[in-house]
Amino acid sequence: DAKTTQPPSMDCAEGRAANLPCNHSTISGNEYVYWYRQIHSQGPQYIIHGLKNNETNEMASLIITEDRKSSTLILPHATLRDTAVYYCIVRETGANNLFFGTGTRLTVIP
Amino acid sequence: DAGITQSPRHKVTETGTPVTLRCHQTENHRYMYWYRQDPGHGLRLIHYSYGVKDTDKGEVSDGYSVSRSKTEDFLLTLESATSSQTSVYFCAIQGAFGAEAFFGQGTRLTVV
């Protein structure tokens, strides 16, 4: 699986959009981009995934560049409960592992 | 929340003793995983299962064994616990490849 690069930490003001970047320059054509988050010591929580088109669900939006070498997770109106570590993962649909790096620690500030 | 339960949630054990962690699901999902999480390493895959009695190794499988005799249960065994196995262990389930994975709340294991 291709590896990802994320900034170690970010801050965001409550109520503002949080934009979390991810670089995956070695991604291959059949690899999806997944985002998970981990709040404090809880188990990771699935957020969203996509292949090449932008995706949106009730939690977030995923914007993937046309060359697919990077993506951005957008939390449109960050709340204090969105404070967590966010993991960007690339993975083939047939792969048996989610490779978790060290992620981005997002802190939402009141 | 997906029906996935890990037990115990916390355990302290002595070096050299056997330890078994249990992951139980009520979703009838085919795939089950065991991860460990340590500071600075993120989550790392220990073993996974793609069906009853079908298991395979992950990236950090040394010192661990697993068993899956029923769809709903995936057991992780440390045959002889060592201090390096002190960690937080997470179980995950997945209905199909490509689908989202659901994680349990974790088991904090301390080997003294």
Calculate mean pLDDT across residues A13-18.
97
Across the interface, whether the CB atoms of A42 and B45 are under 8 A apart is answered: no
Inter-chain contact B97–A93, Cβ cutoff 8 Å? yes
Cα–Cα distances (Å) from A102 to A9, A89, A95, B16, B48, in that order, read: 10, 11, 20, 31, 21
In angstroms, rounded to a whole number, what is the distance separating the alpha carbons of residues B112 and B109? 10
A95 contact residues in B (CB cutoff 8 A): 97
Look up residue A36 and give its two tokens. 């998970």
Amino acid letter for position A46: Y
Q: Please report residues of A whose CB lies closer than 8 A to that of B44.
A: 100
> Is residue B99 scored above 60 in pLDDT?
yes
Q: How confident is the model at residue A1 (pLDDT cuts 50, 70, 90)?
A: low
Q: What is the pLDDT of residue B8?
A: 97
Per residue in B71-97, pLDDT (tens digit) is 999 999 999 999 999 999 999 998 776
Interchain proximity B90–A94, CB inside 8 Å: no
Give the distance between the most distant pair of CA atoms in chain B.
39
